[in-house]
């Protein structure tokens, strides 16, 4: 079992320590009876049900709607993603999407939207999705071109969304579209769109190297009630960014879970594998590699739980901290996992081996929810702003 001494850090309360221990035991046993992952749609539906039955999805919504905490507890979200990712990429994915796909409703939804969607998300009765990216707008959110035109009591949506996780199995999508109050970022709004709304079609299912439900969506004169607007019109960009501020640290946490698993696999292998009559772990080159892996893991954990603790302690924005946590941890996990592959040799690339799966799982995390390059832009802007304000 991986090093858990980080749980003694002052970032955590005792309830976090209990959560990490209980979830870790639950996840090892849930993954032992691991269901068939060749059908990812069915596997994700099963994970959502299992996570709901054992009350883990309650961490995705506020207490008033069946959740555990009054507001998001980012440390809990990070601990859960880290622990699930250690055991199963799809379990982590299923949990993460329930959170990301309902986060904007928690932050900006009307009472009616919150009470319709949030309890159903935490009970696993509705599968959630977050539809922001478009064929020509991923990193540059302000460039998105899906439109939402007001027509009496309805908005009419037209456009294309792509790379939408849970696309094809979601019961509803939080969709960002241009309502045109102003050019660029100030002219966007966010909506809740039920998956069975006429005019919303799944145009394409997308296969990726670490398979999970993913699709391109087409909106053609898709009429949705005006009451499905989140917050005020024109606030969509800020709602998207505020949601990402919370969930970006959790992407880092998932990467950390993958990295911890890779280090554990490497430790198990190098301490038992004999080479030239000695355990592989006794060679200095192996020691150096293991040291680098452990260092990257601790540094990632420090940045992730710093960001999470800062948010939980009441910070209005953690844009800089969350971007640093995501950027560093996803890049570091890629290096850690690559080192594990190298230490395991042929086994590390054998199809189905945990390390081979990690090698495929980690790659997308450096791209989604703000690619590494975007995180650098975000960090630089925050640093420059602070400098200008203090000059």
Residue count, binding to ligand COS (CB under 6 A): 22
Element housing 113 (H / E): helix 111-122
Residue 111: active-site member: no
Q: Tell me if 295 contacts ligand COS by CB under 6 A.
A: no
Dist. CA 86–CA 358, nearest whole Å: 9
Q: Tell me if 319 contacts ligand COS by CB under 6 A.
A: yes
Q: Tell me if 137 contacts ligand COS by CB under 6 A.
A: no
Q: Tell me if 347 contacts ligand COS by CB under 6 A.
A: no
Q: Tell me if 132 contacts ligand COS by CB under 6 A.
A: yes
Dist. CA 135–CA 319, nearest whole Å: 25
Element housing 222 (H / E): strand 214-225
Position among 4, 21, 205, 317 found at the interface with ligand COS (CB under 6 A): 317
Dist. CA 298–CA 95, nearest whole Å: 24
Position among 31, 150, 185, 203 found at the interface with ligand COS (CB under 6 A): 185
The CB-of-185 to ligand COS minimum distance in angstroms stands at 4
Task: Specify whether the CB–CB gap between 165 and 225 falls below 8 A.
Answer: no
User: What are phi and psi for residue 210, nearest 5 degrees?
Assistant: -115, 90
For the record, the structure tokens of 91 come out as: 């379990």
Pairing of strands 128-131, 172-178: parallel
If the CB atoms of residues 245 and 331 are measured against ligand COS, the closer one turns out to be 245
If the CB atoms of residues 118 and 374 are measured against ligand COS, the closer one turns out to be 374
Position among 66, 101, 103, 138 found at the interface with ligand COS (CB under 6 A): 138
Dist. CA 353–CA 200, nearest whole Å: 39
The CB-of-40 to ligand COS minimum distance in angstroms stands at 18
Dist. CA 381–CA 391, nearest whole Å: 15
Q: Tell me if 230 contacts ligand COS by CB under 6 A.
A: no
Q: Tell me if 141 contacts ligand COS by CB under 6 A.
A: yes
If the CB atoms of residues 142 and 335 are measured against ligand COS, the closer one turns out to be 142
Pairing of strands 128-131, 188-194: unpaired
With DSSP H G I counted as helix, E B as strand and the rest as coil, what are the percentages for the chain, rounded to 5?
Answer: 60, 15, 25
Q: Tell me if 242 contacts ligand COS by CB under 6 A.
A: yes
Q: Tell me if 379 contacts ligand COS by CB under 6 A.
A: no
Position among 368, 372, 379, 382 found at the interface with ligand COS (CB under 6 A): 368
If the CB atoms of residues 22 and 139 are measured against ligand COS, the closer one turns out to be 139
* 137 Cα distance to chain centroid: 19
Interface with ligand COS (CB under 6 A):
132-133, 138-142, 185, 237-238, 241-242, 244-245, 317, 319, 368-370, 374, 377-378
């Amino acid at each position: 079992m991986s090093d858990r001494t980080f749980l003694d850090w002052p970032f955590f309360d005792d309830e976090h320590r209990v959560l990490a221990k209980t979830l870790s035991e639950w996840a090892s046993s849930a993954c032992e009876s691991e269901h068939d992952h060749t059908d990812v749609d069915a596997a994700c539906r099963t994970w959502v049900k299992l996570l709901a039955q054992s009350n883990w999805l309650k961490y995705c919504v506020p207490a008033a709607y069946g959740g555990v905490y009054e507001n998001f507890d980012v440390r809990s979200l990070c601990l859960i993603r880290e622990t699930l990712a250690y055991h199963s990429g799809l379990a982590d994915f299923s949990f993460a999407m329930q959170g990301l796909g309902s986060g904007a409703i928690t932050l900006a939804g009307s009472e009616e939207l919150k009470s319709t969607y949030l309890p159903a998300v935490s009970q696993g009765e509705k599968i959630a999705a977050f539809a922001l990216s478009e064929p020509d707008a991923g990193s540059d959110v302000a460039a998105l071109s899906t439109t939402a035109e007001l027509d009496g009591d309805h908005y009419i949506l037209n456009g294309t969304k792509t790379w939408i996780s849970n696309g094809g199995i979601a019961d509803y999508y939080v969709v960002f579209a241009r309502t045109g109050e102003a050019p660029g970022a100030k002219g966007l709004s966010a909506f809740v769109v039920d998956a069975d709304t006429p005019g919303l079609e799944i145009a394409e299912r997308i296969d990726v190297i670490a398979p999970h439900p993913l699709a391109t969506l087409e909106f053609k004169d898709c009429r949705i009630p005006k009451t499905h607007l989140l917050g005020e019109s024109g606030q969509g960009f800020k709602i998207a960014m505020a949601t990402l501020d919370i969930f970006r640290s959790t992407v880092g946490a998932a990467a950390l879970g993958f990295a911890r698993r890779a280090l554990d696999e490497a430790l198990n292998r190098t301490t038992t594998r004999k080479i030239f009559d000695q355990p592989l772990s006794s060679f200095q080159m192996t020691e150096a590699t293991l040291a680098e892996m452990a260092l990257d893991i601790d540094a990632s954990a420090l940045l992730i739980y710093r960001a999470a603790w800062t948010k939980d302690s009441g910070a209005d924005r953690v844009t800089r901290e969350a971007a640093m946590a995501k950027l560093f941890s996803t890049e570091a996990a890629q290096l850690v996992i690559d080192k594990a592959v190298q230490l395991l040799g042929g086994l590390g690339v054998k199809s189905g081996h945990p390390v081979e799966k990690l090698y495929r799982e980690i790659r997308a995390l450096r791209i989604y929810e703000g690619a590494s390059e975007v995180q650098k832009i975000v960090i630089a802007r925050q640093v420059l702003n602070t400098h200008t304000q203090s000059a």
